[in-house]
Chains A and B, each alone.
Chain A
Amino acid sequence: MAIVVKRPKLSILEKMYLPGIIKGLWITLSHAINRLRGKSKKVTMQYPEEKWDDQLPEYYRGAPALVTDEQGRERCVSCQLCEFICPPRAIKIIPGEIEKGDTWEKVEKQPATFDIDMIRCIYCGMCEEVCPEQAIYLRKDYVITGESREEMVHDKDKLYEIGGVRVGLVNKWNELK
């Protein structure tokens, strides 16, 4: 069944366009005048000098990074779940063992290398969701630049540098386990 949309009945003034045009012109001009008088502010930001950083929401998904706990220990047990879940396959982990004789020998594993290719990363946050040890988080960094492909691959040191410390329960280091 066809739907008949009723056309609004326009008055002669409206059909002439002119009052509408003048109204529109006045709106834009009043914006310009207010800007010139300093009454209204610009809505855009001048990027490198002005940034949104302090207004980023808590749930902002920036660069993924590894975190340490409050004692500076690695949280990652290199279970490679993030490597498997990563949709663009940006993560590459080579698991390593914790040497015999170490206090934390019983934990057994830590990543030998942990690379995230930031050219591939799509900031989806699945690595964060899947991590059983809360070792990888998406931080608020978004200015990720480099002059070569190699530079765009974040290695372990860089990831810890971005990640920093995260306080909270860690299964890996639990004494009782």
Chain B
Amino acid sequence: MTELLTILYSLIEPTIKIVVLVFMVILPMVAYSVYAERRFSALLQDRVGPNRVGIPFTKISLAGLGQPMADGLKFILKEDLTPGHVRKFYYWLAPALTMVPALLTCAVLPFGGHLKLPFFDEPFQMVIADLDVGILFVFAIASLGVYGIVLAGWASNSKYPFIGGVRSSSQMISYEISLGLSVIPILMIYGDLNLGSIVQQQHEKGWALLPVTLDGFMPVFSFRDIVLLVPLLISFVIFVTSLFAETNRLPFDLPECETELVAGYHTEYSSMKFALFFLGEYAAMIIGSGFAVTLFLGGWSLPFGWGGNGEESLFWGLVAIGTFFAKVIGFILFFIWVRWSIPRFRYDQLMRLGWVFFFEIALFNILLTAGILMFFG
């Protein structure tokens, strides 16, 4: 009996973290990143963007901040049409299969250092599951996302979704390889798969891409870290580009590809099922940005080793959480910025880039990192 109670008791903390992080932070962020996409793209193209919807039944528009709520309501109230020619079971399964892996991966994302709450002796770790296989778990789960898209394309039982599904599976498989290989230099340098301790090391020695700490006003850095910047920068470029391909964002949005495939794999979907695909893409983008920030840009840590990891005081714990989300938002804006600037790749260019260039460069990069690490000991 007491064992059961301890198990139940130990479940309280993760549950609270899941509810707060997923339902109160990530999902609103998903909704508002759609809004951010529309406003920021408008800014980039000299347009206005959605600026009308505010508080209902008043003239207060709040620069359009009510738009995501209105959009969500619209998606719920729309007719949920299931065409007669689809395979129903898989057709219903597919939207959930795109959304769930995207949200699952945030379990190992360290969104803050520690949080020392009053009335508690131990500071809480700001990660849902502190897994030692961290990054492997991410790749294992993230690659499940392709099933949703493939199933949607297959179950829709029509041409365009099918082509979209096939394209997306080949694209995601191709870029998963370079995505995985580009992370290996980071793992070699920090010697750990646990994302929390990777960030902790970056907090102490400076970010992976900014390996400088300040002693007073004197910059402190080791020659080894400066040389390591070369493979890390290559890794970063490959990682970010592969991330674009993995999340089906615009320079690589061939699975959707409005001009050729109507809407790609979700052509036959409507209402909330379509919204799940749509929002799953944004959720994947947010979590992907989270991982790019965690691996290369120091996660929740401030630059130059400033601040603390929150074990000492509540203040630095909150600063760490704020820093992490500020970085993620910055990265999302970068995603949006790239989407509205760069034209789409042709399909053969996409495959060539993935298999001929990134794969080889990432492999060479691992060798280079190993060489540097061997040379400097």
User: Which residues in A have some Cβ–Cβ distance to B below 8 Å?
Assistant: 21, 24-25, 27-29, 31-32, 35-36, 40-44, 46
Contacts and interface: CB of A to CB of B under 8 A. Distances in A.
Contacts of A27: 341
A32 B337 CA distance: 10
B40 interface: yes
Interface string B233-276: 00000000000000000000000000000000000000000000
A16 to B, nearest CB: 9
Chief secondary structure at chain B's binding surface: loop
A28 B337 contact: yes
B237 to A, nearest CB: 8
A43 B341 contact: no
A15 B47 CA distance: 32
A29 B46 contact: no
Contacts of B46: 31, 35, 40-44
A29 B47 contact: no
B45 A25 contact: no
Interface of B: 40, 43-48, 51, 337-338, 340-342
Given A21-B342, A25-B337, A25-B341, A31 B44 contact: yes
A32 B40 contact: yes
15 contacts: A24-B341, A25-B342, A28-B45, A29-B337, A29-B341, A31-B45, A31-B46, A32-B40, A32-B44, A35-B43, A40-B46, A42-B46, A44-B46, A44-B48, A46-B48
B44 A44 contact: no
Nearest to A23: B341
Nearest to A26: B341
Contacts of B47: 42-44
Contacts of A31: 43-46
B43 A24 contact: no
A28 B341 contact: yes
Contacts of B337: 25, 28-29
Given A31-B46, A42-B47, A46-B48, A24 B342 contact: yes
